[in-house]
Amino acid sequence: MDFIGANILSVSQFERADIDRIFTVADSMGPFARREKVTRVLEGAILGNMFLEPSTRTRLSFGAAFNLLGGMVRETVGITASAMAKGESLYDTARVLSGYSDIICMRHPQAGSVAEFAAASRVPVVNGGDGDNEHPTQALLDLYTIRKELAGKGRTLDDFRIAMIGDLKHGRTVHSLCKLLCLFDKVQLTFISPPELAMPEAVVEQLRAAGHQVTVTDQLEESIGHVDIVYSTRIQEERFASQEEANLYRGRFRLNREIFTRHCEPNTVIMHPLPRDSRAEANELDTDLNEHPSLAIFRQTDNGLLVRMALFAMLLGVEGDVDKYSRPVRWHSRRSPI
Ligand code: NCD
């Protein structure tokens, strides 16, 4: 695809060569993310961050990635803080905000809303999550992480096994990741969820049509024994009709050190898009795994910066110039390397 000026709305717009290009550019962003060098390549550019649903890492890492390339960030957080609370349409908001920005990242509670917004925008729009539909940049950083973790074991994206656990019905990160995996070969997927929260049939069909082996189950312990990756997810309580209904499922599939040690192969990689629900009744990924070398959740968040920097550079057509406008940093803020 032609990245310059494009919107990033769905992973379906990527071909495999596009993924390879994004990952190559992401690899080159390491010195900037590690604060060894700074670049001014996006000096003067403005990112409009429009987050109409709660977010910590997606919003902050989009912003930090843009800052790391030398650009500035303007934010609107929460529908109540925007004129949408006064009934303003997506169309009008897009026309206005795109006059103030060079690129826009948007999160919105409704599926399809970011595409509607993008159709009216005069600058590229990146989908930071639209309802239960898609979260393309999370899928890219997840796939980038999987690739890196597998490389450490001499494996590749073309032959690996992954178990996805939790609310697979509403989880936009797993929807996007599965669609992206259709670009690769010989992936074995195990979907572990309560039957009511199963992966949408259309996604399962797409994976099977791509030649992948898919197993659907509601049994955790017996299904995580022979996988390279376990990808845990939160019950997406904000997508349920009532809190009571969401509560039925919280804490149903918990992964802790004891279960991991007893059932998983020792070097199985543990992933989660975060946030993990740390409340006692949920706790789908226990803190007793925090120091476990297989826990990749904070490697995922660090990788998110690299992938989002790569996308910004490519969408704004500067990926070849990042180093040209760089210099070493003067300060020392890191207690440990990332
Ligand atoms: C996810 C999201 O918002 O879809 N988080 C993220 O962006 N890293 C997952 C979640 O909220 O559970």
Examine the domain organization and report whether 61 and 159 are in the same domain: no
Whole-number pLDDT of residue 333: 80
Is any atom of ligand 1 closer than 6 Å to the C-beta of 57? Answer: yes
Distances 293 to 45, 219, 289, 312 between C-alpha atoms, Å: 39, 25, 9, 31
The whole-chain average pLDDT of the chain stands at 96
Examine the domain organization and report whether 292 and 150 are in the same domain: yes
Examine the domain organization and report whether 308 and 260 are in the same domain: no
Ligand 1: residue of 58, 110, 137 to mutate (most ligand atoms within 8 A of CB) is 58
Distances 231 to 118, 139, 163, 189, 201 between C-alpha atoms, Å: 30, 12, 6, 11, 19
Distance of alpha carbon 182 from alpha carbon 178, whole angstroms: 7
Query: Mean pLDDT, to the nearest integer, of 299-312?
Result: 98
Examine the domain organization and report whether 38 and 87 are in the same domain: yes
Is 107 considered catalytic here? Answer: yes
Examine the domain organization and report whether 157 and 95 are in the same domain: no
Is any atom of ligand 1 closer than 6 Å to the C-beta of 107? Answer: no
Q: Is residue 196 part of a domain?
A: yes
Q: Is residue 322 part of a domain?
A: yes
Q: Is residue 143 part of a domain?
A: yes
Examine the domain organization and report whether 77 and 190 are in the same domain: no
Examine the domain organization and report whether 23 and 90 are in the same domain: yes
Q: Is residue 334 part of a domain?
A: no
What is the number of domains present in the chain?
A: 2
Q: Is residue 102 part of a domain?
A: yes
Whole-number pLDDT of residue 83: 82
Examine the domain organization and report whether 169 and 308 are in the same domain: no
Whole-number pLDDT of residue 337: 57
CB 308 within 8 A of CB 71: no
Examine the domain organization and report whether 261 and 160 are in the same domain: yes
Examine the domain organization and report whether 226 and 291 are in the same domain: yes
Q: Is residue 262 part of a domain?
A: yes
296: pLDDT strictly greater than 90:
yes
Specify the CATH number for the domain of residue 285.
3.40.50.1370
165: domain range?
136-298
Q: Is residue 337 part of a domain?
A: no
Total-model pTM: 0.96
Catalytic residue among 59, 108, 135, 250: 135
Q: Is residue 51 part of a domain?
A: yes
Examine the domain organization and report whether 80 and 225 are in the same domain: no
Catalytic residue among 21, 57, 155, 186: 57
pLDDT in tens, 75-96: 988 888 788 878 899 999 999 9
pLDDT in tens, 115-168: 999 999 999 999 999 999 999 999 999 999 999 999 988 899 999 999 999 999
pLDDT in tens, 2-24: 999 999 999 999 999 999 999 99
Examine the domain organization and report whether 268 and 142 are in the same domain: yes
Query: Mean pLDDT, to the nearest integer, of 231-238?
Result: 96
Is 263 considered catalytic here? Answer: no
Distances 164 to 115, 118, 214, 270 between C-alpha atoms, Å: 27, 30, 11, 10
